[in-house]
Amino acid sequence: MSNKPVTVVAIDGPAASGKSTVARATAQALGWVYVDSGALYRGVTWKALRENVDTRKPADVAALLPQFAWEFFDDHRAIRFTIAGEDPGQQLRSELVREAVSDIATVPEVRAFIVGELRKMTEFGPLVMEGRDIGSVVFPDTPFKFYLDANPVERARRRAAELAQAEGRGDLDQVLSSLTRRDQKDSGRKTAPLQIPLGARVIDSTQLQVADVVALILGELRRAGVAP
Ligand code: DC
């Protein structure tokens, strides 16, 4: 048996930078497992809301963590999970969860718990994992780190279009101010703030198509000899 570490592609960046679409497409092109780390932060938020925990009280949120068992599974090469046997599904994307999640993501105990779970996911095989701290905290030793960015108005435009499709409404100004608020919270927090990981390749996707960004990433993996 070889001790070769499992390859992890870390894709970080702010909200609506296109990292989910890019990470998913990259994983699909490689047949590797896709991990949306934000879904775990949303999972804690969802459970906290259901248990009527005040999501602005870090100690109450931290106390919730040991009470419920999480199970992770590979669903067509994307990681999904249940919490206490329940699949949160699309509720992870609800407005209530969306508005509360950045408070939850500041709680150090929550971050430590999630980082531990994310590291264990190499058991599923080579990974493409997206988030805010994957290259900086979760897998700082991976040689494959990317930081996706795009200008805020373009990001808001993309997110508004997604919302319009999913929920039938997406007001650009409102989305822009909510994005800006979340960017500030994600970058300003003390624990694992959003930052460009050391050694990450920064890709500005403002003027790029998803396929172009995926091609850049695949090109780097091919040059390193880890992708066909
Ligand atoms: O990517 P997303 O919108 O699903 O992320 C939800 C929240 O979780 C957002 O406030 C940022 C936070 N997050 C984080 O702090 N670290 C990660 N690795 C992923 C998400």
Residue from 56, 91, 101 whose mutation best tests the ligand 1 pocket (most atoms within 8 A of CB): 101
pTM beyond 0.75, yes or no: yes
**Token pair 């969860």: residue:** 97
Residue 168 banded pLDDT, cuts 50, 70, 90:
confident
Range 121-141 average pLDDT? 97
Contact at 8 Å (CB) between 157 and 172?
A: yes
pLDDT, residue 188, reads: 84
**pLDDT score for 150:** 92
Does CATH number 3.40.50.300 belong to domain 8-222? yes
Return the SS3 of 208.
coil
Inter-residue contact 136 to 198 (CB < 8 Å): yes
- The per-residue pLDDT for range 72-93, each reduced to its tens digit, is 999 999 999 999 999 999 999 9
pLDDT at position 2 is 54
The token pair that represents 82 in the structure block? 């249940």
What DSSP line would sit under 188-204, residue for residue?
A: H-SSS-S-PPTTPEEEE
Residue 62 has pLDDT above 70, yes or no: yes
How far is Cα 120 from Cα 15, in angstroms, rounded to an integer?
25
Mean pLDDT of 45-69: 97
**pLDDT (0 to 100) of residue 184:** 86
d(CA 146, CA 156): 21
Paired residues of 8 in beta bridges: 127
Q: What is the pLDDT of residue 189?
A: 82
pLDDT, averaged across the chain: 94
Residue 77 tokens, joined: 């090469």
Distance CA 67, CA 4 (A): 35
| pLDDT confidence tier of residue 166, bands split at 50, 70 and 90 | confident
What is the best residue among 37, 95, 130, 138 to mutate for testing ligand 1's pocket, by most ligand atoms within 8 Å of CB?
Answer: 37
- Tell me the β-bridge partners of 145: 10
